[in-house]
């Protein structure tokens, strides 16, 4: 299937590692020009070196001015922007009991506010290209997890913003969709597993609850859905929450 992404400029936040890196690779494989926005300069350079084309923007996105600068650098370098993938974030365990109001606000800065800021500053350019936005959310927005109020509420807000932006931007032909992953093996997920006394035992328990094949979703499987949603092949899909999770959220637990 030709996704007709050749030459399209695709900005990916958190694009140096994990799901973001898989999205960058998938976009490049379709002929798109990825712009990697990440605070990890070394990882971003490593990812960029693997690509035939693209750009790096090293930024801490909790600052609105950094979001503006990332978009501006993209426009200065390529003169256009065709797609935005909001992906950066971290399950930072800022909970209700073990957390504070100040930490909660900081968590929203790490996981939510830059989604709005990036879309806000990208919008004038996406209007010109009739581009697309894909937001990466999380199953915690629907299932809860316990002990992660900041992350879960940010991911829930991302689902709401996806529908709100899809409605607001209809007249510009800009499509907005969200991906909802559940259990995906990334460097951050590995770090989380390693906080348990027996990480392998914890992983085995998690895998047993994933209905389809009792395995983790791969970052590449998330990326494949993202690039499809960015493409003309998804030209009449907007305002959707798409679950790439092996049936984790919606299938009956009796199956596992």
pLDDT of 188 reads: 86
Catalytic residues, by residue number, are 151
pLDDT of 136 reads: 98
pLDDT of 195 reads: 87
Tell me 165's DSSP state. Answer: H
d(CA 95, CA 82): 37
Same domain (yes/no): 31, 112 = yes
Same domain (yes/no): 223, 210 = no
pLDDT of 220 reads: 98
pLDDT of 192 reads: 84
pLDDT of 246 reads: 97
Measured from the Cβ of residue 183, the count of other Cβ atoms closer than 10 Å reads 17
Query: Could you tell me if residue 254 is inside a domain?
Result: no
pLDDT tens digits in sequence order for the chain, 256 residues long: 789 999 999 999 999 999 999 999 999 999 999 999 999 999 999 999 998 899 999 999 999 999 999 999 999 999 999 999 999 999 999 999 999 999 999 999 999 999 999 999 999 999 999 999 999 999 999 999 999 999 999 999 999 999 999 999 999 999 999 999 999 999 888 988 998 999 999 999 999 999 999 999 999 999 999 999 999 999 999 999 999 999 999 999 899 9
pLDDT of 17 reads: 95
Same domain (yes/no): 230, 202 = no
CATH number for 237: 3.40.50.720
Same domain (yes/no): 176, 200 = no
b/e map 18-52, b = 16+ CB within 10 Å: bbbbbbbbbbbebebbbbbbbbeeebbeebbeebe
Domain hosting 120: range is 9-182+219-244
Same domain (yes/no): 207, 133 = no
Q: Number of folded domains in the chain?
A: 2
Same domain (yes/no): 32, 48 = yes
């Amino acid at each position: 299937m030709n996704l007709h992404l050749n030459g399209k400029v695709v900005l990916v936040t958190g694009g140096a590692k994990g799901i973001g890196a898989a999205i960058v690779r998938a976009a490049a494989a379709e002929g798109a020009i990825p712009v990697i926005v990440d605070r990890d300069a070394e990882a971003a350079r490593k990812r960029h070196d693997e690509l035939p084309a693209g750009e790096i923007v090293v930024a801490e996105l909790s600052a609105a001015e950094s979001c503006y600068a990332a978009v501006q650098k993209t426009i200065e370098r390529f003169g256009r922007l065709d797609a935005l993938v909001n992906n950066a974030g971290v399950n930072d365990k800022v909970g209700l009991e073990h957390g504070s109001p100040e930490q909660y606000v900081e968590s929203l800065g790490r996981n939510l506010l830059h989604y709005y800021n990036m879309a806000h500053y990208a919008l004038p350019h996406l209007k010109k290209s009739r581009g697309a936005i894909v937001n990466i959310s999380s199953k915690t927005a629907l299932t809860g997890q316990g002990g992660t109020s900041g992350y879960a509420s940010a991911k829930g807000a991302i689902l709401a913003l996806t529908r709100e932006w899809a409605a607001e931007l209809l007249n510009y032909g800009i499509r907005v969709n969200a991906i909802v992953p559940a259990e995906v093996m990334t460097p951050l997920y590995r770090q989380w597993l390693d906080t348990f006394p027996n990480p392998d035992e914890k992983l085995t328990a998690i895998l047993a609850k994933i209905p389809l094949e009792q395995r983790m979703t791969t970052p590449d499987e998330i990326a494949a859905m993202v690039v499809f949603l960015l493409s003309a092949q998804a030209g009449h899909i907007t305002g959707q929450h798409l679950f790439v999770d092996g049936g984790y959220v919606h299938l009956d637990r009796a199956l596992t």
